Structure 1
Amino acid sequence: MTSAELLDRAGPGASGEPPRGLWHHRDFRRLWAGQTVSLLGSRVTELALPVTAIVLLDAGPAQLGLLNSAQYLPVLCVTLFAGVLADRVRRRPLLIAANLGRAAILTAVPLLAWLGGLGVWALCAVAFATGVLTALFDVAYQAYVPSLVAKERLVEGNSKLQASRSVAETAGQGLGGTLIQVLTAPVAILVDCLGYLFSAAMLLRIRTPEEPPARAEGTRPSVRREIVAGLRMTLNSRLLRVIMVHASLYNLLWDVVLVVFPLYGIRVLHLGPAGLGVIIAAGSIGAFGGALSAGRLGERLGTGRAMVFGMLVASAATLLLPLAPGSGSTTGQVLLGAGYVLNGFGIAVFNIHSITLRQATVPPELIGRVSATFRFLTWAVIPLGGLLGGLLAAAAGPRTALALTAGGLTAAALAFLCSRSAMRS
């Protein structure tokens, strides 16, 4: 089945925007602006929460690990339920409520710090609660875009949204560090609150009507049956199943890289924290380039081939990392930077076309649950990657661990290339 046939099956877009592009789509600009600002604020909080724990509460490694787990645990706990909710109600009010809820919850950190009642467990509770609403927002967000953007503009819309995410990844940490130094970490979190309020205000100004969710006649199915329906829809589609399996494998092995690379950079290559940060930030620059290029690649190669191309580039780029010579050489830094730039570029192209394909082909009444299934299954393997990375680095050393992981990523990408299902679109 061709990419055009897949897109035709999705039905017409709900918004009916003119063919001039999304720059002229007022409601999409509001969605885009709100999401860009809230993403920047979120990056501030990602840094401010652990800094608050370290500076104000003298937290140790175990407590920081607990705080990190509290941020990501909601993905496993509530994502599938979030998919059911996103398919049962209109999504825009759900997005607004999630933003307002996150803003309200995060105000507890500066308030408790001011009152002298802030503790590690309180920070964990805040991280978990905001994580629950973030999981709900992310699922509903991907399901909402097709009701705002016509199917022929989905790649463009997802590319612009991915570009904002890439800018936030690059600029957000720097902004967060500056704000924390000037305002203190708890007060800097208020910037994130303002970002969520701005996003909610932008969503409130959207005027494109959203169709109400389809309601089955008779008794509504149970939550469990609706979750199973989303799982079945995803797993019964060979194309969606192949994409999901490979995305899960990529996440597993990429988390090995995330765990091993700091050890490799500091202890083997002697980069130092600043140099390590610059190299890692290069991935966000590459992702920005990938977001800008995804639409043109899709036009030339087709959705499926562009997706496979992105994964090949992202995976093969990791082969450059273990090749870097030590002692802070310029050649080593160039190889590392190129590896991260190309990886960011490729994974952005893959993600944009993977999301677009789901949005264009999955029935509207199921897209929330299918998105939730993807998110749940592709993220569930990430903790295993961290464990595997630690074991590999301890057994074989950081450089060998990276080489083995890069080889695994590249082999998996080649298998994806050979998959007739992935190439069919």
Structure 2
Amino acid sequence: MPSASRAASESSRPVPPSLWRDGDFRRLWFGQTASQLGEHAALVIVPLFAVLTLHADAGQLGVLRAVGQAPILLLSLFVGAWVDGWRTRTVMVLTDIGRTLVLGAAAVAGLLGRLGLPALLVVAFAVGALSVFFDVAYQASVVRLVERDQLVRANSALEGSRSAAQIGGPALGGALVSLLSAPVAAASGALFFALSFLSIRRIQRTESVPERPARSPRVWRRIHEGLRFVVGDATLRAVCLASGAFQLSFAAMMTVYLIFLPRELGLSGTAVGLVLAATGPGALLGSVLAARLPSRFGYGAVLVSAAALGDGVFLCVAALHDSSAMTVPALLAVSFVCGAGGQLVNVTVMAVRQAVTPDGMQGRAAATITFVGMGLTPLGSLLGGFLAEEWGLRTALLATAAAMLLSPAAMALSPLARLGRALPGGRDAPPTA
């Protein structure tokens, strides 16, 4: 082969086996890390500002979290149908620009003294909507850039970047709100999204976008195709059921948890940020384990056991009663175990989902599962606020933590539990009208 042809062939190949030698993969990894830092910081900044500065009660916090999560329910299916026909790099770059502008505007509003609860609701919804686009595009981009036998390794590396964000994001957000001000905290989130934009836009590899038919079907038809594909696959149906059970109960638990820590246990904003950040090191461990354990013990066994451990550990939190010397270390341990188990499940499920889904359905399959699972988070947040007001913080925390065990139970009773040491084969995409 002539050298020019060989060079062209090499440049068009997916990410090579040595992922970290590839400059485009490093740019994607860095951009993902920066984006997740901004997102995880914002997830702490907005509710902590509402609780500590605006003195929001449990019901108001539930509404605030629900508004931020509502775009998942409202937009996921449309975004999935739309992303499948576009370059994911373009989608991620545009959403980073949008989130930078939104949080930058929030910082300016805060400096002018106009960052009240209504403004926080607008910021939460806008950032949540743009994050839906980024997350769906990110999940579809992995399959377009790497070969299928590299999916677990690539997802492990990219989910590891999210773990690093979980280490620094909550701690940074909590510290900035506690020590400085919400406008400064919002500005830090805008800075991270800007860094993500600068990195991802430098990706040079041309990704393989599925060929569009001569007559592109209506968006509703494309959404229906995605729903039909997921419903028709027993493995993906099980993922939807387990994800829905987890996201509903986790959103309810976190609404109670974010009030329980400062008001019941007396933790400062900085301490709350550190406790939440401890999920990061655990998630980093989970990402490393996800590259090894499924091929050794089987995907099904890893999914069920990791979900049971990561979800069940929150039952221990209700036993804590004050801010003694052991309270923060105990909470750090809970967050670490939760992060490890949760990330192990996330990486493994993502690899299974990508393996059984053809390229032309990746965006819609991801969006459908996101719609079914994450779409329940607004209801969970409202439910958590309601239970906290009606039952009290401790009882509500115990009940919502126990409900999280419905997810591993659903996995154990589904085809996911029977997966072996190799990824399942994929199905053909349904014909497009």
For normalisation by structure 2, the TM-score amounts to: 0.81
CA–CA distance in structure 2, aligned partners of residues 190 and 337 of structure 1: 27
CA–CA distance in structure 1, aligned partners of residues 350 and 383 of structure 2: 28
* 1:229–1:422 distance in 2 versus 1, CA, 3 Å: farther
The answer as to 2:294 corresponding to 1:303 is no
Aligned length: 407
Counterparts of 1:268-287 in structure 2, within 5 Å, are: 270=265, 272-273=267-268, 278-287=274-283
Partner of 2:377: 382
CA contact (8 A) 1:15 1:150 kept: no
- Give 3-state SS (helix, strand or coil) of 1:380's partner: helix
Partner of 1:140: 137
What's the CA shift string for 1:348-378, capped at 9, x where partnerless?
A: 1001111111222211111111111111111
Q: Of 186, 190, 208, which aligns to 2:187?
A: 190
What's the CA shift string for 1:387-414, capped at 9, x where partnerless?
A: 4445555666555544444444435524
- Give 3-state SS (helix, strand or coil) of 1:366's partner: helix
Answer with 58-67 or 337-346: which moved more. 58-67
CA–CA distance in structure 2, aligned partners of residues 410 and 66 of structure 1: 25
Partner of 1:370: 365
Once the 2 structures are TM-superposed, how far is the Cα of residue 141 of structure 1 from its aligned partner? Answer: 0.9
**Residue type of the partner of 1:128?**
F
Consecutive unaligned residues in structure 2, runs of 5 or more: 1-11, 421-433
Partner of 2:163: 166
**Residue type of the partner of 1:152?**
D
Once the 2 structures are TM-superposed, how far is the Cα of residue 295 of structure 1 from its aligned partner? Answer: 0.7
**Residue type of the partner of 1:372?**
A
CA–CA distance in structure 1, aligned partners of residues 46 and 263 of structure 2: 27
* 1:281–1:104 distance in 2 versus 1, CA, 3 Å: closer
Partner of 2:39: 42
Partner of 1:16: 14
CA contact (8 A) 1:36 1:168 kept: yes
Partner of 2:246: 250
CA contact (8 A) 2:97 2:194 kept: yes
- Give 3-state SS (helix, strand or coil) of 2:167's partner: helix
CA–CA distance in structure 1, aligned partners of residues 144 and 297 of structure 2: 26
CA contact (8 A) 2:144 2:209 kept: no
Once the 2 structures are TM-superposed, how far is the Cα of residue 330 of structure 1 from its aligned partner? Answer: 6.1
Once the 2 structures are TM-superposed, how far is the Cα of residue 48 of structure 1 from its aligned partner? Answer: 4.6
The answer as to 2:74 corresponding to 1:80 is no
* 1:55–1:382 distance in 2 versus 1, CA, 3 Å: closer
**Residue type of the partner of 2:203?**
I
CA–CA distance in structure 1, aligned partners of residues 325 and 108 of structure 2: 47
Counterparts of 1:385-404 in structure 2, within 5 Å, are: 385-390=380-385, 392=387, 398-404=393-399
* 1:15–1:355 distance in 2 versus 1, CA, 3 Å: farther
The answer as to 2:314 corresponding to 1:315 is no
* 1:200–1:388 distance in 2 versus 1, CA, 3 Å: closer
Q: Of 354, 363, 368, which aligns to 1:359?
A: 354
Once the 2 structures are TM-superposed, how far is the Cα of residue 52 of structure 1 from its aligned partner? Answer: 6.9
Once the 2 structures are TM-superposed, how far is the Cα of residue 290 of structure 1 from its aligned partner? Answer: 1.0
* 1:377–1:199 distance in 2 versus 1, CA, 3 Å: same
Partner of 2:230: 234
Consecutive unaligned residues in structure 1, runs of 5 or more: 1-13
CA–CA distance in structure 2, aligned partners of residues 271 and 110 of structure 1: 28
Once the 2 structures are TM-superposed, how far is the Cα of residue 144 of structure 1 from its aligned partner? Answer: 0.7
CA contact (8 A) 2:62 2:381 kept: no
**Residue type of the partner of 1:80?**
L
Once the 2 structures are TM-superposed, how far is the Cα of residue 256 of structure 1 from its aligned partner? Answer: 3.3
- Give 3-state SS (helix, strand or coil) of 2:208's partner: coil
- Give 3-state SS (helix, strand or coil) of 2:292's partner: helix
CA–CA distance in structure 2, aligned partners of residues 335 and 230 of structure 1: 43
What's the CA shift string for 1:182-202, capped at 9, x where partnerless?
A: 874334433333322322222
* 1:332–1:182 distance in 2 versus 1, CA, 3 Å: closer
Once the 2 structures are TM-superposed, how far is the Cα of residue 238 of structure 1 from its aligned partner? Answer: 0.5
The answer as to 2:207 corresponding to 1:210 is yes
The answer as to 2:95 corresponding to 1:101 is no
CA–CA distance in structure 1, aligned partners of residues 191 and 328 of structure 2: 38
* 1:211–1:181 distance in 2 versus 1, CA, 3 Å: same
CA–CA distance in structure 2, aligned partners of residues 337 and 240 of structure 1: 33
User: What is the Cα-based RMSD across aligned positions, in Å?
Assistant: 3.3
CA contact (8 A) 2:73 2:375 kept: yes
What's the CA shift string for 1:209-249, capped at 9, x where partnerless?
A: 212332123x3211111111111111111011011101111
- Give 3-state SS (helix, strand or coil) of 1:107's partner: helix
CA–CA distance in structure 2, aligned partners of residues 391 and 197 of structure 1: 37
Q: Percent identity?
A: 35
CA–CA distance in structure 2, aligned partners of residues 159 and 211 of structure 1: 22
**Residue type of the partner of 1:236?**
G
Partner of 2:408: 413
Answer with 237-246 or 292-301: which moved more. 292-301
**Residue type of the partner of 2:31?**
G
